[in-house]
Amino acid sequence: MVRKHQELIDKMTLKEKASLVTGKDFWQSRDIERLGIPSAFLSDGPHGVRRQAAAADHLGLNASIPATCYPTAATMANSWDPELGEGLGERLGQEAAVQKVNILLGPGTNMKRNPLCGRNFEYFSEDPYLAGKMAAGYIRGIQSNGISACVKHFACNNQEENRMTLDSVVDERTFREIYLTAFEIAIKEGKSKSIMSSYNLINGTFANENEHLLVDILRKEWGFKGLVVTD
């Protein structure tokens, strides 16, 4: 499989390679018909598939295809039951498959460090171990339907205020023990096929440009072979 992908990459022009990081529209990657590479459809939805059939927008103001609204991650984590999360993930994956969604953007696995964070309901816990175990369950369930989960937001995205410019300054021990543990469990036990990098900087470098985070830790230490999607 790796050889097949490398052969495709070798055949691509520089323009075609660049096109894969720009997007066909708000929710789809670009297709390359010449090489038989189809576009992938991404959808929000840790708690329910949100696919917009017509005009797409990131805030969800325009109408979406009807889908089930499931309990939030915060609610599910109160069960302390990864198997329950896996069952919910299976239902999410089933609906995603019916709606022809390829990548479901979730689960959210950030730490609850600030009670004012407007998206705490999307995250499991302030405890890295519990968050990681629950996320791994969700991922196994989602991906059992042939859909790719996309664990997010990697990493240190623990508040919404100024998250596109915020610099999370953290020492290496805290970084690994608190902020990365849940993601490590999600990757190693859940086998997530994709992961979403966060908007914020980490120790002065944007997460999606952070070599220590995305190469040293994610690729080399954890052995992640999947897709990194920017937020």
In the chain, what are the domain boundaries? 23-230
Amino acid at 130: L
Residue 41: predicted pLDDT: 94
pLDDT at residue 47 above 80?
A: yes
| φ, ψ at 104 (rounded to 5°) | -95, 120
Q: Which residues pair with 167 in a beta bridge?
A: 201
Which of these ranges, 19-28, 53-62, 93-102, 127-136, has the smallest mean pLDDT?
53-62
pTM score over 0.85: yes
Tell which CATH architecture fits domain 23-230: Alpha-Beta Barrel (3.20)
* pLDDT class of 25 with cuts at 50, 70, 90: confident
pLDDT at residue 223 above 90?
A: yes
pLDDT digits (tens, 9 = 90+) for 124-144: 999 999 999 999 999 999 999
> What integer is the mean pLDDT of 43-69?
81
The Cα 111–Cα 117 span in angstroms is 10
Q: What angle do CA 83, 123, 197 make, to 5 degrees?
A: 105
The Cα 53–Cα 51 span in angstroms is 6
pLDDT at residue 192 above 60?
A: yes
More confident residue, 54 or 13: 13
More confident residue, 210 or 160: 210
Residue 57: predicted pLDDT: 67
Residue 185 half-sphere exposure toward CB, CA atoms < 13 A:
21
Which of these ranges, 22-31, 78-87, 97-106, 126-135, has the smallest mean pLDDT?
22-31
Which one of the listed residues 31, 81, 167, 231 is annotated catalytic? 231
The Cα 45–Cα 92 span in angstroms is 8
Residue 24: predicted pLDDT: 87
Q: Rounded mean pLDDT of the chain? A: 93
pLDDT at residue 164 above 90?
A: yes
For the chain, the C-alpha Rg in angstroms (whole number) is: 17
pLDDT at residue 1 above 60?
A: no
Asked if residues 211 and 173 have their Cβ atoms less than 8 Å apart, the reply is no
pLDDT digits (tens, 9 = 90+) for 141-158: 999 999 999 999 999 999
Q: How many CB atoms lie within 10 A of CB 79?
A: 12
> What integer is the mean pLDDT of 93-117?
94
Residue 58: predicted pLDDT: 66
pLDDT digits (tens, 9 = 90+) for 174-184: 999 999 999 99
Q: What whole-number percentage of the chain has pLDDT above 70?
A: 95
The Cα 78–Cα 54 span in angstroms is 36
Q: State how beta strands 201-202 and 205-206 pair.
A: antiparallel
Residue 31 a catalytic site member: no
